[in-house]
Structure 1
Amino acid sequence: MATLEEALRLVSLMEAELLRRRIAIDRNNAYYRGEQPLKFASDEFAKFHGDRYRDFSDNWVQVVADSPVERLTVTGFKAAGEERANAELWRVWQVNGLDTDSQLGFLGSVVGGRSFALVWGDPDDEDTPVVTFEDATQCIVTYEAGSRRRRRAGLKRWQDGGYDYATLYLPEEVWKFRRPQLGMRDKSAQESDIDEELRRWLPREMEEEPNPQPNPMGVVPLVELPNKPMLVADPISDVTGVVALQDAINLLWAQMFTASDYASFPQRVVMGAERPMIPKLNAAGEIIGKEPVDLQKFAVERVLWVTGKDAKIAEWQAANLAAYTQIIENAVGHLAAQTRTPQHYLVGKMANLSGDALLAAETGLVKRVDEKKLWYGQALREVARLILLARGEDAMAKDMRAGSVLWADSESRSYAQLADALVKLKDLGFPFEWLALRYGLTPTEVADVVAMREREAEMDPVAAATAMLARRPGPAPGDGEDADAEAEEPDEVPV
């Protein structure tokens, strides 16, 4: 067991790393929400037009991040050696609302590079552990040297009601700490020393449970879901590579809006003439001077008198704004290619494409989703094992280490295509339950459908027997008793 000093030192080190990571995560979250600071190509443009487009963003980051998440749907868990999905694991998943919260976890991983899942027992219901998905700005996991899976410690840090809270998860125990949040005003050196002393983490006082308390699972219950893990570097967010192009697209829109305001119509200029002047009168009506005519008056009345023998009017054409839209479309095309997002997700225009053409257009996205299923599935398999450990099912938890996570199909197909494929697989001999899973039903729904089929068979035994005989392979011609009788029958003798 760790001492209080060791636990505090570990919390301090993990908190420092968590704060380092948070800078990039907060930026990616802001870009996902459309809170994107406009970047400028020149100081002059920023000086005159910076405030005008402060709140504008043509947000493609959200589309890129949402496109794989909408195809990530968990349908069940199956331990090694089991023929069917584990019904109890799915019940715990549903009770905790993870059919919806898992989408938040996947989105957090896609945007922030990682997210986390926390499993802990519920003293009020020992059969239903509490499972939550956690944000990467609040959680961090450290691993044993040389391993990317064996977790050494986990930390969750958050703020609430004027206090910072921290929970340190170790394999053998769990520590809980608290410290007050302090103001940010300028302070003297002595006041800063006092604040630093007050900012120290202290064990949380709890009447109903000890601190630290033992960890009955014997393993860190915080699991990391990396988005695109690397061997020696941090996982990569899907948003990281989009930020630069997003900035460029926003700048092009700002420049096009400015051009539209100033040069979208043909412009005329008067050359070779003095600016029109009008007499300036005193109270007695006497001319005491001249003053220039308000040019806005001409813009409203659309009338201008030009005098002078050399005066003439010239014109230049309106700006070609299509050049901007073409560059923006090219930038969006680059964004689609780099992120493997289908063009019809971004461009918003659909051609008369066949079903096969649409499937081919979405191949990159499907492969991208399958990659995420591989990494997220490994983490979710560990979450399922933790649920079993929290329930005291150690043997099943051991089998779950080599189990699998069941997912809905990544491809979007029409019902006609899917039904045709399933009928062909049925003719090859694939069982009904497997086909029902491929159709998109969850294991629980498949079990319900199988029970309905059995009830229908009990209500109509003749139809059930007929269907069974139809499915049973009969003897081939020339085999069995019919073949023997055929052999004993004499040939006909022509008369």
Structure 2
Amino acid sequence: MTARRRLAKGEYTLKQGLPQRKLERDFMNGNHVKPFLPPGVSKEYLELREYSISNMLPLAQAAPLQRLKVSGFSTHGKDSASQELDSKLWRNTWQYNRMDARQKIVYADAYNHGRGIVSVAASTVVQKAKISIESPDKVHVEMDPEDPFKPLYAVKIITDESEMKTGAGIILPNGETYHPGGSIRKAWVYDEKGWMHFKTSGQSSAWEYVSEGAHSMDAVPFVPYDVNLDSSGKPHSILAQLLPTQKAINFVRFATLLALQFSAHRQRAISGYDPVVRTEEDEIVYQKDKNGVEIMDPLTGLRVPVLESLGRMGVDRLVTFANKDVKVWDMPESNLENYINVHNSLIEELFARAQIPPQYQLINMHNLTGDALSGAESTLTSFVGDLKATFSESHEQVMRLAARAVGHDGIDDYSSEIAWGDGETRSFGQIIDAITKLISVGFPKKAAFAMIPGATDTKVNTWMDMSKAELHTQWA
């Protein structure tokens, strides 16, 4: 397949997936589809519909992603040279690209859309590699049909606003100026050996060849972070599975607000009473303006009749009717507890689908012990473990590509591992007690120090150096 055909397929795939990705992004940001309303309702109903949106999705997403934090990288080399190479690669790639803070972005893309993407390239700075978080809206990674878990090529398309055409344009309602065909679109097609660059302007749909070159990765330099993979290698969004329940929550909240507004209180009802004023000849009396012209209803176009006033009702007032057939009774208020029960049930369903323990909902919490909390988090812990296993493979590939980008020898080791920070709920005392016991039975100190919350490879190496220095001082 030629680069142009790959570019065409990548462009088409990105365009086809954009509406679904926009929907998922809008829901995560609280821009939900509003509950249905029939046409012609009052402003009051529209206002209540705006209040009905309750976005539970960020909390469901944050619970697992907050526990995903890489703390180190190891190639399992035992000698000091291998460990120094690991530390150097960690500093010059992960730390250099501020991935401690940025790693959550790619996890969020994977959670929301099924796939996050990271690219690796050689940096202009010596011995440094550039790691970039890529947008799923701009990058398509095509998998090998013979091996659906291996990237075959990647297509990246961007709009370069810096090269927009100047001159006459169309002024949009929001005040911005639109230049038809003014911006320049650029595209790159990458494979295992090199890349090819194209560009086009809005005035033409044809891609023009610009340049090409080689890279030293020996692999497609774009790494997908996929979740919920099936046997064909297709990822599936975690967020998309939660959208129907989120919509139901909004609808029930809307119904609850309507009940609060219109039927939460007991109401009086009257039947058999005709308030229309009539003449002695039983003709309806219609309202007239000051000029004696009959007033017409602006909605129906009909004449407006004169109505008798019932007066004001109250505990110290009596209302009487001349017609003996008139009946007055009370309409009971709505049982709001039923609405609340359905609402809470849907929230529990959403969190159950997201594998989030009940304590994150902050309801039904009654003196739970630490063991009870740990037990409740077992499902979330398993879910986070699955995400770590999936993302570890992608992180390891990123580090291998980074090593190739800076020309490190001997680092392309498939026994390498990513070290994750401990995100489980434990007291600090429990952790230190366990570490102390491990060291007492001969467990390596460096491995034990790595178990301390917040430990990183840099911190552990510093602690080991300080420990050696203190020991040397004691024996000096």
**TM-score, L = length of structure 1:** 0.79
Q: Which runs of 5+ in 1 are unaligned?
A: 182-194, 205-210, 463-495
Query: CA offsets, 1:251-305, max 9 Å, x none?
Result: 1111111111110111012334442869989989xxxx9832578x848999784
For residues 305 and 208 of structure 2, what CA distance do their matches in structure 1 show? 81
1:458 aligns with 2:464: no
**Which position in structure 1 is the counterpart of 2:184?**
163
Give the number of equivalent residue pairs.
Answer: 428
For 1:68-87, list aligned pairs within 5 A: 68-82=64-78, 84=83, 86-87=86-87
1:442 aligns with 2:456: yes
Quote the sequence identity (%).
Answer: 22
Query: CA offsets, 1:292-330, max 9 Å, x none?
Result: 2578x8489997843325244311111011101101111
1:200 to 188, 200, 206: 206
**How far does residue 135 in structure 1 lie from its aligned partner after superposition?**
2.0
For 1:221-260, list aligned pairs within 5 A: 221-232=221-232, 234-260=234-260
SS of the residue 1:116 aligns to: strand
> Is this contact kept in 2: 1:370–1:410, CA < 8 A?
no
1:389 aligns with 2:400: no
SS of the residue 2:359 aligns to: helix
**How far does residue 171 in structure 1 lie from its aligned partner after superposition?**
1.9
1:60 aligns with 2:56: yes
**Which position in structure 1 is the counterpart of 2:358?**
343
1:100 aligns with 2:105: no
Between 97-106 and 152-161, the greater mean CA deviation after superposition: 152-161
**How far does residue 55 in structure 1 lie from its aligned partner after superposition?**
6.7
> Is this contact kept in 2: 1:273–1:306, CA < 8 A?
no
For residues 239 and 175 of structure 1, what CA distance do their matches in structure 2 show? 35
For residues 230 and 394 of structure 1, what CA distance do their matches in structure 2 show? 35
> Is this contact kept in 1: 2:148–2:233, CA < 8 A?
no
Aligned Cα root-mean-square deviation (Å): 3.0
**Which position in structure 1 is the counterpart of 2:138?**
138
**TM-score, L = length of structure 2:** 0.82
SS of the residue 1:53 aligns to: helix
Query: CA offsets, 1:110-152, max 9 Å, x none?
Result: 11100111011112x1211110111222212123332144432
1:331 aligns with 2:346: yes
SS of the residue 2:460 aligns to: helix
For residues 208 and 154 of structure 2, what CA distance do their matches in structure 1 show? 18
> Is this contact kept in 2: 1:228–1:235, CA < 8 A?
yes
**How far does residue 76 in structure 1 lie from its aligned partner after superposition?**
1.1
> Is this contact kept in 2: 1:65–1:238, CA < 8 A?
no
SS of the residue 1:63 aligns to: helix
Query: CA offsets, 1:165-217, max 9 Å, x none?
Result: 21211222211222223xxxxxxxxxxxxx5xx1111234xxxxxx2122122
> Is this contact kept in 1: 2:52–2:257, CA < 8 A?
no
1:8 aligns with 2:23: no
**Which position in structure 1 is the counterpart of 2:169?**
none
Q: Which runs of 5+ in 2 are unaligned?
A: 162-182, 279-284, 292-303
For residues 302 and 414 of structure 1, what CA distance do their matches in structure 2 show? 64
Query: CA offsets, 1:356-380, max 9 Å, x none?
Result: 1111111111111110111110011
> Is this contact kept in 1: 2:313–2:319, CA < 8 A?
no
> Is this contact kept in 2: 1:298–1:304, CA < 8 A?
no
For residues 281 and 46 of structure 1, what CA distance do their matches in structure 2 show? 28
Evaluate the alpha carbon distance shift between residue 258 and residue 424 of structure 1 in structure 2; reply closer, same or farther with a 3 A threshold. same
For residues 437 and 299 of structure 1, what CA distance do their matches in structure 2 show? 75
**Which position in structure 2 is the counterpart of 1:478?**
none
Between 305-314 and 17-26, the greater mean CA deviation after superposition: 305-314
Structure with bigger helix share is: 1
Evaluate the alpha carbon distance shift between residue 269 and residue 173 of structure 1 in structure 2; reply closer, same or farther with a 3 A threshold. same
**Which position in structure 1 is the counterpart of 2:443?**
430
**Which position in structure 2 is the counterpart of 1:308?**
322
For residues 299 and 99 of structure 1, what CA distance do their matches in structure 2 show? 67
For residues 404 and 449 of structure 2, what CA distance do their matches in structure 1 show? 30
**Which position in structure 1 is the counterpart of 2:335?**
320
1:402 aligns with 2:425: no
**Which position in structure 2 is the counterpart of 1:418?**
431
**Which position in structure 1 is the counterpart of 2:263?**
263
**Which position in structure 2 is the counterpart of 1:119?**
120
**Which position in structure 1 is the counterpart of 2:173?**
none
Name the larger-Rg structure.
1
SS of the residue 2:241 aligns to: coil
Between 373-382 and 158-167, the greater mean CA deviation after superposition: 158-167
SS of the residue 1:126 aligns to: coil
**How far does residue 164 in structure 1 lie from its aligned partner after superposition?**
2.1
**How far does residue 154 in structure 1 lie from its aligned partner after superposition?**
1.0
2:378 to 344, 363, 375: 363
